Structure 1
Amino acid sequence: MRSLWRLRSFLRPYGSRILFAALCLMGITGTSLIFPLIIRQVIDVGLASADLRYIVYAALAILGLGLLRSILAYGQRYLTEWVSHNISFDLRNRLYDHIQHLPFTFHDRTQSGQLISRTIEDVRAIERFTGNGLAELVRVGLLLIGIISLLFLDNPLLACIALLPMLPQMVITTRFGRRISRYFLTVENALGELSVRLQENVSGVQVVRAFSREPYEVQRFDKVNRRLFSARLTVISEFAKIMPTSHFLIALATILILWFGGNMVMRGELTLGELVAFNSYMLLLAEPLQILGWLVNSAGEASAG
C-alpha cells in the first residue's frame, strides 16, 4: 500500500479541483448526518404534539437536503473522474517515456506482453482507485468520524454496546488488506504472461500454422489462461468472505440497539425519536463498513500495479 503514496506527485497539479471535490464530499457527508436528526425531531416533537405543520416543514427540509446532496454528488463525481483520467493520462505518458529510455538489456530480458499489460491494465487499476476509490475513502473516513462522534455525544453507553460488533469487522478488513496486494500481484503477473502468449502467437501465426503447431499453442494458452482464472478466483473468494460477515455484524448491532435501547426508552432514559435516530446512524455506519472492504480491494489492485 505504501507504493500508492508515490501518486501524490501526480495529484499536485490538480490541487484546486481536488479541494473542490473534497468540499463537495464534506457537504454530502454533512447532509447524510442531518437526516436522522430530522427524523428524531419529527417523532419526538411533530408526532408527539400532533403538529402537522412541523411534519410538513420536516418533509420540505428533507427534500431540500436531498436536492442539495444530488448537486454536490454530481460535482464530486465529475471532479474526481476528471482528475483520475488526467492522472492516468499523465501516468501513461510518463511510463511510455520511461520505457523508451530503458537500456537494451532490460528489453532483452523483459517480455513485451508484460510491458503492454503494465501500461494498460495497471494504469487502469490506478485510475479506478484515484477516481472512485480515493473519493470513497475520504467519504468513508468522514462518515465514520461523524457517525461515531454523534453516537457518543447522544448516548455513550449505548454507543459502546452498538459498536462492539464492529470491532471484528475492522480486524477482518485489516487482515484482508495485508494479503490483497500479494493476490493482485499474482493476477497482474498472470495477465502479463497471457498478453505475452497472445502477442507472440498473433505476430507469429504464420510460423505456427506452417509447422502445424496450433494444438500445442492452444494448450499453452489454456494453461496460462487457467492460471489467470485461478488467481482471479482467489481474490474473489477472499473478498467474498468480508461482505457476509459485515451483514451479520450489522444485524447483531441492530439487535443490541433494539434490546438495550428499547429498555432505556421504557425506563424513560431515552426518547423513541432518539432510539430511531440512533439506529439510523448505525444503519448509516453499515455503508462505510461494507465499502471499506471494496476500498481495500481497489487499493490492493492499484498498489499491485
Structure 2
Amino acid sequence: MLVPDKNYYDLNLKETVSDNHLLGLWRLMKGYHWLYLGAAALLAVATLARTGIALVIRRFVDDVILAGNYGSTLTMIIVIFIGLAFIQGVFTFLSGWLTSKTAESVTRRLRNFLFDHLQRLPYAYHSKSQTGDLISRATSDVDAVNRFFSEQAIGIGRILLLFIVNFAAILRLNTRLALYSVIAIPAIIGVSIYFFSKVSKAYEKYQEQEASLSSRLQENLTGIRVVKAFARQGHEQYKFDQENWEKFKLGKKLLSIHSLFWPVSDIICGIQMLSSFFIGALMALNGEISVGTYLAFTSMVIL
C-alpha cells in the first residue's frame, strides 16, 4: 500500500467526511478557519461603515441643509463621510482577498488529494467506473466547492450582516419603519426554500447527464478505430446526439428554474420596498419622522 506524500497535500480528506455537509466543509477548511473568520469580521466592519454612511446622510439633511448650518458641522460631516467610505472600500477589499485566498487554498488541497487518491485506486475500481463521472467529480464538483467558499458562504454572511446591522439602525430610527421593512421576509424565505429544493434536484440530474455525456465521448475517442472499422460512425453520432440533447433539456430546465426564482423574489422585494417608501413618505409628510430620517431609511432599505 502506498503511503500518501504529506508534501503533496496537507490534510487527509478522509478525516473530513461527515453526514453533515456543512460540518464536512468546515473540516475541509482546517488551517484556514481564522483566515475565513477574519474575512467575515472585516466584512462586518465594512457593513457597519456602510450603514454609518446612511446615518451621516441623515445628519447632513437635518442638521445642515434644513437647518442652514453650513459651517463646522458641514466640514465634520464631509470628513466622516469620506472616512467611512474609505473604511468600507478598504475592508471590503481585504475581506474579498482573504476569502479568495481561503477558497483557492482549500480548492488546491481538494484537487491534490483527489488526484492522488484516484492514482492509488485499484484497477478494478477504474474498470467499473465511468470516466465521465470521474471527470465531472474532478472538475464541476470541485469548482462548486470553490464557488461555495469564494461566493456563496461569504455572500450569506454578508446578507445576514446587512440585515442585522441595518435592521438595528432602522429600529433605532423608528420602530414602525423597522417593522414595515421586514414584513416580506417570511415570503422570501418560503420562496427561497421551495426553489432551493427544485434547483438541487435539477442540478443533480444535470451533473449525472454531464458525466454520462463525457463517458460517451471518451468511449468513442478511445474506440474510434473500431467504430471506423465497422462503419458505425452514424450510429455512434446518433447516440452522442441523444445524450447531448438530454443534457440540453436538463440544462434548460435548470436555467428555467433559476430564471423564475429571480423575478419572483425581485417582485416580492420590490413590493416590499415600494410599500416601505410610501409609508415612510407619509410619515415624513405628517411630521412623524424627519426628512433626513426618511432618506437614511431608504438608503438602508436599498442596501
Distance in 1 (alpha carbons) for counterparts of 2:38 and 2:280: 40
Pair 1:142-2:184 in alignment = no
Q: Is 1:28 aligned with 2:51?
A: no
- Which shows bigger deviation, 213-222 or 119-128? 213-222
Q: Secondary structure at the match of 2:231?
A: coil
TM-score (norm 2): 0.86
Matched to 1:15, the amino acid is H
* CA displacement at 1:110 relative to structure 2: 1.6
Quote how far apart the aligned CAs of 1:100 are: 4.0
1:258 to 1:25, Cα distance in 2 relative to 1, 3 A? closer
Please tell me whether residue 170 in structure 1 is matched to residue 189 in structure 2. Answer: yes
For the pair 1:197 / 2:203, whether they are aligned, the reply is: no
Cα gap change, 1:159 to 1:192, in 2 (>3 Å): same
Give the Å deviation of 1:34: 0.9
Moved more, 148-157 or 112-121: 148-157
| Match status 1:42 vs 2:84 | no
SS of the residue corresponding to residue 31 of structure 2 reads helix
Q: CA deviation at 1:124?
A: 1.0
Give the letter for the 1:110 counterpart. Answer: S
Displacement of 1:56 after TM fit? Answer: 4.3
Q: Which of 259, 274, 280 is equivalent to 1:255?
A: 274
Q: Does 1:60 align with 2:79?
A: yes
Partner Cα separation in structure 2 for residue 275 and residue 255 of structure 1: 13
> 1:15 deviation in Å?
2.4
Distance 1:79 1:191 in 2: 33
Quote the Cα distance in structure 2 between the aligned partners of 1:77 and 1:260: 36
1:223 is matched with 242
Q: How many aligned positions are there?
A: 284
Over alpha carbons, which structure has the higher Rg? 2
Q: 1:96 aligned to 2:112?
A: no
SS in structure 2 of the partner of residue 241 of structure 1: helix
Question: Structure 2 residue aligned with 1:111, among 113, 125, 130?
Answer: 130
Shift of 1:188: 0.9
Whichever residue aligns with residue 188 of structure 2, its letter is Q
CA contact (8 A) 1:166 1:249 kept: no
Equivalent residues of 2:43, 2:91 under 8 A apart: yes
Which structure has the highest helix share of the two? 1
Aligned-pair distance for 1:123? 0.5
The aligned counterpart of 1:3 is 21
TM-score, with normalisation over the residues of structure 1? 0.86
Contact 1:169 1:245 in 2 (8 A): no
Q: Report the identity percentage.
A: 27
Query: Is contact 2:132–2:211 with CA below 8 Å preserved after alignment?
Result: yes
Residue identity in the other structure for 2:212: E
Aligned to 1:76: 95
Aligned partners of 2:278, 2:180: CA distance in 1, in Å?
10
Alignment partner for residue 261 of structure 2, among 242, 251, 254? 242
**Which structure 2 residue ranges, 5 or more long, are not aligned?**
1-18
Higher relative contact order (CA 8 A, sep 6+): 1
Q: Which amino acid aligns with 2:177?
A: L
Which residue of structure 2 aligns with residue 184 of structure 1?
A: 203
| Aligned-partner Cα distance in 1 for 2:172–2:257 | 36
